[in-house]
Amino acid sequence: MTLLALERLTVALPAGADRPHALVDVSLTLDAGEILCVVGESGSGKSITATTIMGLMAPGVRVAAGRVMFEGTDLARLPAEALPRLRGPRIAMVFQEPMTALNPLMMVGDQLAEMWRTHTDLPARDIAARARAALAEVALPDPDGALRAYPHELSGGQRQRVMIAMALALEPALLICDEPTTALDVTTQAQILRLIRELQSRRGTAVLFITHDFGVVAEIADRVIVMQQGLVVEQGAAAQVLGAPAHDYTRRLLAAVPRLTAPAPRAISAEPVLEITGLSKTYRPAGLFRRRRETRALDGVTLTLRRGATLGVVGESGSGKSTLARCAVGLLPFDAGTIRIEGRPLPGARQAAAHCVQMVFQDPYASLNPRRRVGDQVAQRPIAAGTGRDAARAQAAELFALVGLDPAALVRFPHEFSGGQRQRIGIARALALRPKLIVCDEPVSALDVSIQAQVINLLDDLQEEFDLTYVFIAHDLSVVRHISDRVAVMYLGKIVEVGDRVSLYEHPMHPYTHALLSAVPVPDPDKEHARERILLTGDVPSPLNPPPACRFHTRCWKAQSLCTQVEPPLVEVQPGHEVACHFPEERVIV
Amino acid sequence: MKRYLRNPVAVLGAALVLAVLGMGLAAPLLFPGDPLGLAGRPLQWPGANPRFPLGTDPSGRDIMAQIFHGARISLLIGFVATLVATAIGIAIGALAGFYGGWVDTVLMRLTEAFQTLPNFLLLLVLVAVFGSHINTVTVAIGLVSWPPVARLTRAEFLTLRTREFVQAARVQGLSDLHLMLREVLPNALPPVIVYASVVMAVAILLESALAFLQLSDPNVPSWGNLIGLGRNVLRVEWYVSAIPGVAILLTILGVSLVGQGLNDALNPRIGK
């Protein structure tokens, strides 16, 4: 039975937008009890599809033609006051950003109870009981505590569970999920996807699932719609679209997805460029009257990286990987340990350190000064270091050509570039000082998949050309596999496993590495359903109060009393492969 | 600029400010004599004598000439005092916001010390100590108006200094001075510029208030002085105070509207 049908839907954007229509002639159907994934890159119109169905379009955006048929009524023609009666009881939505989707000043229980208070006449006691049951159903560890918690007291994954509980509170016929796992860690993403799938099959809810990630599609979708620039370019059953894509664009997107496969290992020189020993960093909030809560972000991290090699550092949020990056470039002072670059300690003076190590930042939109010309931002440091203005300009133009940008674009401002182009500017800026070492802090996580591949290839080429050494931070094991020679896995400020790429991916020893590898969704439904999944329970514990001894024991299925008493040291199990676990065990995941 | 011109209220404000500016520029041409010199019989009503379209004050001076010459004084005080206040405010706010820690604590306690004193009282003290020459009055007004500018600049610097592009410049090894002036300040400036219009309006008002108490420089033809002179004859010849009062009102209205227009034009979120 068809529940929702978009019929030749065309949605117009306000005048002055980059294109006249957000959606052109989009038709799709969704049956009861089905999960339909809408996939596309940014600007494909996938989110506008969701907001149009919900009647939540931004001002100026309007339906120009076509119908949005839901249970026999055309939502696009419905008077404005009729929509709220549908939103909640019949159609519900889960948003991308669990951090901002809940009211920070209301207790979770009250926000959840509002659903019934607004839409039903149930007595207060029944509502309280239902709210508790709803939280229990989404598998929150402590439903009674969660009812009285404020949103900031919950983790991102827990908040997303609350959002799902709210969305499903009134048993809607249709659930729209707009990238509900994009802001979450991979292990949490795996939990949330499983939860949505379970609830969906238990209740027979139809789900319209919007995502940019083909791995997620393979995991959850019955059918798939691929969108590009407001057009539906391909649709069909998940196995068919992913297995035998018919449209060029789909093929390109699938080819760009980083997989858990990698090129052959290469020979690396023996000369160390970066040596980190016993690095520790504790954040101490300042203030006279505030309670002092210390966060141990890095705890005795030791790493060595050789010339021309790339070290991938992987971990969930709170693992300390960004702190490590910021310490390594001298942005953050550290408490203990040493950082040596080419045998010499990292200079304390900013000017001297800049010539040793540079950084490529995560967010290409925030890492360029919006009010200054991009050429000045690339050339400013050589000029400050004494290079002549013209020479620095010429060098900037060369760098632009090198990273694949038009040197004539030097005089433009950052907002005139796309995300991928900005990241190239960021790379050109890092190269301007000819550093030996470049720390890349999640340089592609804010980019579309097809752009990600381009940027990673560029980094690869530059490494070869200039004999660069990279530290590559990522939250996802699939991204680093392609580019890394060595990989370090971090958990709550400690390295739990480090090894050469082949060794670590093919013979992972630490249970946390197993879980991370297993949580990466694979864009192939057959493999996806065939392979063994390890689902971690719960969230990363707060770094304010890490578990004693082995920090992973609270989520580890192998934990025994030894793990809660004695901290496992990092031990070499094979040449160049170290693990910090009392019960290491090889397990084939990929 | 285009966005500014699309806003009719902002254009009205700009027109008012330009009109006052025009009055100030035209004053020496239209009224070449000393505006404070005796011109005719005192206290003639506006329109009573075609030589004095706006009448004469209790000392027999031409009110129209004083209004035109007063425009120069008011704008001069407004601009210079605002310049002094924003310069001090930005310097202190930038240092406090950029460095944080004890620098911030010391500078902000200093700012609060200034803020807790009513600024008009402080102005009276400064004028009493340093005399009431127009230059000292202007600088004194600037000296009492900077704390809000400092707080605003500090707030902007606090949020901007942790942004990635500032960190990127730090990693590039650029000096603190470069970070403050080239990276942070251009991004912090729009709200400060908008607030400067408020400072300017308040500066003009402060001078008028001083003059009303006859504590400003009596040797310049300021609007406030004229209001002060009219105080003694307020019940019968109210026009002596009312005419410069309206001039002050329109000028401040103009400056405030320009500020609001700038705010809308510089803030891309409201623009659309």
Chain segment B111-169, per-residue pLDDT in tens:
999 989 888 888 999 988 998 888 899 999 999 999 999 999 999 999 998 888 999 99
The whole-angstrom distance between A321's CA and the closest CA on chain B is 16
Q: Which residues on B lie below 8 Å from A329 (Cβ)? A: 171
The whole-angstrom distance between B149's CA and the closest CA on chain A is 21
**What is the CB-side half-sphere exposure of residue A535 using CA atoms within 13 A?**
10
The mean pLDDT of A268-288, rounded to a whole number, is 82
Asked if A334 and A346 count as a contact pair (C-beta separation under 8 A), the reply is no
From A387, A383, A311, select the one nearest B169 (Cα to Cα).
A383
pLDDT of A151 strictly over 90: no
Work out whether strand A21-31 and strand A2-12 pair parallel, antiparallel, or are unpaired. antiparallel
Q: Partners of A92 in the beta sheet?
A: A175
Could you say which DSSP state residue B180 is in? Answer: I
From A159, A216, A161, select the one nearest A35 (Cα to Cα).
A216
What integer best gives the mean pLDDT of chain A? 86
Q: List, for residues A165-198, the tens digit of each pLDDT value.
A: 898 888 899 999 998 888 788 888 888 888 888 8
Chain B residues with CB-CB distance to A under 8 A?
A: 101, 163-175, 178, 182-183, 186-187
Mark which residues 265-304 of A lie under 8 Å from B by CB: 286
Contact A353 B167 (CB under 8 A): no
Residue A449 has φ and ψ, to the nearest 5°, of -60, -45
Q: List, for residues B33-77, the tens digit of each pLDDT value.
A: 777 777 777 777 877 777 787 888 888 888 888 889 989 888 888
* pLDDT at position B142: 92
Q: How far apart are CA A126 and CA A497, in angstroms?
A: 49
Judged by DSSP in three states, B85 sits in helix
Q: How far apart are CA A470 and CA A264, in angstroms?
A: 18
Angle between helices A186-203 and A156-168 (to 10 degrees): 10
pLDDT of B272 strictly over 50: no
Contact A362 B178 (CB under 8 A): no
Q: List, for residues A394-433, the tens digit of each pLDDT value.
A: 999 999 999 989 998 898 888 888 888 999 999 999 999 8
Helices (H), A403-541: 419-431, 449-466, 477-483, 501-506, 511-519, 525-530
* pLDDT at position A30: 92
Extended beta strands in chain B, E state: none
Domains and CATH numbers, chain B: 76-253 (1.10.3720.10)
Q: List, for residues A551-588, the tens digit of each pLDDT value.
A: 898 888 888 888 888 889 888 888 889 999 998 888 87
* pLDDT at position A424: 93
* pLDDT at position A354: 87
Q: Is the ipTM of this complex over 0.95?
A: no
**Single-letter residue type at B236:** V
Residue of A nearest to B173 (CA): A351
Q: Which residues on A lie below 8 Å from B182 (Cβ)? A: 372, 380
Q: Partners of A358 in the beta sheet?
A: A438
For chain A, the distance separating the N- and C-terminal CA atoms, rounded to the nearest angstrom, is 39
Residue of A nearest to B188 (CA): A371
Judged by DSSP in three states, A268 sits in coil
What integer best gives the mean pLDDT of chain B? 87
From B177, B157, B173, B189, select the one nearest A380 (Cα to Cα).
B173
pLDDT of A258 strictly over 70: no
Residues 6+ apart with CB under 8 A from A373: A410, A411, A412, A413
Q: How far apart are CA B44 and CA A345, in angstroms?
A: 85
Residue of A nearest to B185 (CA): A371
The whole-angstrom distance between B184's CA and the closest CA on chain A is 9
The whole-angstrom distance between A524's CA and the closest CA on chain B is 37
The whole-angstrom distance between A58's CA and the closest CA on chain B is 12
* pLDDT at position B268: 55
Of B168, B173, B186, the CB nearest to A350: B173
Buried b (16+ CB within 10 A) or exposed e, A385-407: bebeeeebbebbbebbebbbbee
Q: Which residues on A lie below 8 Å from B174 (Cβ)? A: 350, 380-381, 384
* pLDDT at position A296: 82
Helices (H), A89-244: 108-119, 124-137, 143-147, 156-168, 186-203, 214-220, 238-243
Residue of A nearest to B100 (CA): A286
Judged by DSSP in three states, A490 sits in strand
Q: How far apart are CA B79 and CA A582, in angstroms?
A: 73
Of B101, B163, B175, the CB nearest to A366: B163
Mark which residues 364-383 of A lie under 8 Å from B by CB: 366-372, 377, 380-381
For domain A33-42+80-255, give the fold.
Rossmann fold (3.40.50)
Q: What is the torsion angle, in degrees rounded to the nearest 10, for the CA atoms of residue A244, residue A246, residue A250 and residue A252? A: 90
User: Are both A33-42+80-255 and A272-491 of the same fold?
Assistant: yes
CB-based contact, A330 to chain B, within 8 Å: yes
Q: Give me the sheet containing A73-74, strands edge to edge.
A: A21-31, A2-12, A62-70, A73-74
**Single-letter residue type at B198:** V
CB-based contact, A434 to chain B, within 8 Å: no
Q: Partners of A5 in the beta sheet?
A: A29, A69
pLDDT of A284 strictly over 80: no
The whole-angstrom distance between A275's CA and the closest CA on chain B is 19
Asked if A28 and A235 count as a contact pair (C-beta separation under 8 A), the reply is yes
* pLDDT at position B271: 40
The whole-angstrom distance between B17's CA and the closest CA on chain A is 29
Work out whether strand A295-306 and strand A437-441 pair parallel, antiparallel, or are unpaired. unpaired
pLDDT of A261 strictly over 70: no
**What is the CB-side half-sphere exposure of residue A70 using CA atoms within 13 A?**
21
* pLDDT at position A446: 81
From A177, A4, A35, select the one nearest A92 (Cα to Cα).
A177
Contact B168 A429 (CB under 8 A): yes
Q: Span A272-491: which CATH code?
A: 3.40.50.300
Q: List, for residues A198-208, the tens digit of each pLDDT value.
A: 888 888 899 99
Q: Give me the sheet containing A357-360, strands edge to edge.
A: A357-360, A437-441, A469-474, A310-314, A486-491, A494-500, A577-579, A571-574
Q: What is the torsion angle, in degrees rounded to the nearest 10, for the CA atoms of residue A473, residue A478, residue A480 and residue A481? A: 160
Asked if A214 and A258 count as a contact pair (C-beta separation under 8 A), the reply is no
Contact A362 B164 (CB under 8 A): yes
Q: Give me the sheet containing A91-94, strands edge to edge.
A: A91-94, A174-178, A206-211, A35-39, A223-228, A231-237
Residue of A nearest to B186 (CA): A371
CA quadruple A202, A207, A209, A214: dihedral positive or negative? Answer: positive
Asked if B197 and B4 count as a contact pair (C-beta separation under 8 A), the reply is no
The whole-angstrom distance between A272's CA and the closest CA on chain B is 22
Contact A352 B173 (CB under 8 A): yes
Where are chain A's structural domains? 33-42+80-255, 272-491, 498-590
Asked if A237 and A73 count as a contact pair (C-beta separation under 8 A), the reply is no
Extended beta strands in A229-324, E state: 231-237, 272-283, 295-306, 310-314
Distances (CA, A) of A216 to A35, A219, A507, B2: 12, 5, 25, 45
The string of DSSP codes covering B212-225 is HTT-S-TTS--HHH
Asked if A166 and A197 count as a contact pair (C-beta separation under 8 A), the reply is no
Please give the interface size between A and B, counted as residue pairs whose CB atoms are below 8 Å apart.
Answer: 71
Confidence of residue A260 (pLDDT cuts 50, 70, 90): low
Could you say which DSSP state residue B194 is in? Answer: H
Q: How far apart are CA A79 and CA A76, in angstroms?
A: 9
Could you say which DSSP state residue A85 is in? Answer: H
